[in-house]
Amino acid sequence: MSTKTPREPGILQALLPVVLLVAMLGLNVVVFGDGGLDGPNQLALLFAASVAIGIGLFNGNTFKQLLEEVVRNISMALGAVLILLLIGALAGTWLLSGIVPAMIHHGLLLLSPKVFLVAACLVCAVVSLATGSSWSTVATVGIALLGIGKAMGFHEGLVAGAVISGAYFGDKLSPLSDTTNLAPAVAGTDLFTHIRYLLWTTIPSMVIALLLFAGIGLTREASTEVVGTEAFHAAIQSKFNIGWWLYLVPVAVVVMIMRKVPALPALFAGALLGGLFAVVFQAELIHELSSGTGSYAAQAYRMVITAMGPGFSVVTGHEAVDELLSAGGMRGMLNTVWLIICALAFGGAMEGAGLLQRITRAVMRLVKGDGSLVATTAASCVFVNVTASDQYLSIVLPGRMFAPVYRQRGLAPQVLSRTLEDSGTVTSALVPWNTCGAYMSGVLGVATLAYLPFCFFNLLSPLITVLYGALGIRISRLSKAQGSPE
- Cβ burial, residue 292 (10 Å; 0-12/13-18/19+): exposed
Of 139, 126, 205, 207, the C-alpha closest to 171 is 126
Q: Is residue 419 part of a domain?
A: no
Q: Is residue 230 part of a domain?
A: yes
Q: Is residue 138 part of a domain?
A: yes
Q: Which domain holds residue 132?
A: 78-332
Q: Return the bridge partners of 312, or none.
A: 327
DSSP string, 259-307: TT--HHHHHHHHHHHHHHHHHHH-HHHHHHHTTT-S-HHHHHHHHHHHH
Cβ atoms of 448 and 458 within 8 Å: the answer is no
Low-confidence residues of the chain, pLDDT below 50?
Answer: 1-2, 222-225, 227, 481-482, 484-486
**Number of domains the chain is built from:** 1
What was the pLDDT predicted at 420?
94
- CA 373 to chain CA centroid, Å, is 27
DSSP string, 355-419: HHHHHHHHHGGG--SHHHHHHHHHHHHHHHHHHT--HHHHHHHHHHHHHHHHHHTTB-HHHHHHH
Q: Is residue 456 part of a domain?
A: no
Q: Is residue 476 part of a domain?
A: no
Cβ atoms of 60 and 2 within 8 Å: the answer is no
* Element spanning 313, H or E: strand 312-313
DSSP string, 426-481: GGGGGSTTSHHHHHHHHHHT--HHHHGGG-HHHHHHHHHHHHHHHHTTT--BB-TT
What was the pLDDT predicted at 109?
77
Residues 388-426, buried b or exposed e (16+ Cβ, 10 A)?
bbbbbbbbbbbbebbbeebeeeebbbbbbbbbbbbbbbb
Q: Is residue 479 part of a domain?
A: no
CA gap 421, 173 in Å, rounded: 10
Of 325, 249, 327, the C-alpha closest to 91 is 327
What was the pLDDT predicted at 474?
84
pTM, full prediction: 0.76
CA distances from 13 to 56, 141, 355, 385 (A): 9, 45, 7, 20
What was the pLDDT predicted at 256?
84
Which bin fits 434, alpha (ψ -120 to 50), beta or left (φ > 0)?
beta
Q: Is residue 215 part of a domain?
A: yes
Cβ atoms of 353 and 52 within 8 Å: the answer is yes
Of 342, 442, 386, 405, the C-alpha closest to 77 is 342
Q: What residue type is assigned to position 98 of the chain?
A: G
Give the dihedral sign, CA 14/17/23/29. negative
pLDDT, tens digit, for every residue of 202-214? 999 999 999 999 9
Q: Is residue 13 part of a domain?
A: no
- Three-state secondary-structure class, residue 327: strand
DSSP string, 30-83: HHHGGGGGGTHHHHHHHHHHHHHHHHHHHTT--HHHHHHHHHHHHHTTHHHHHH
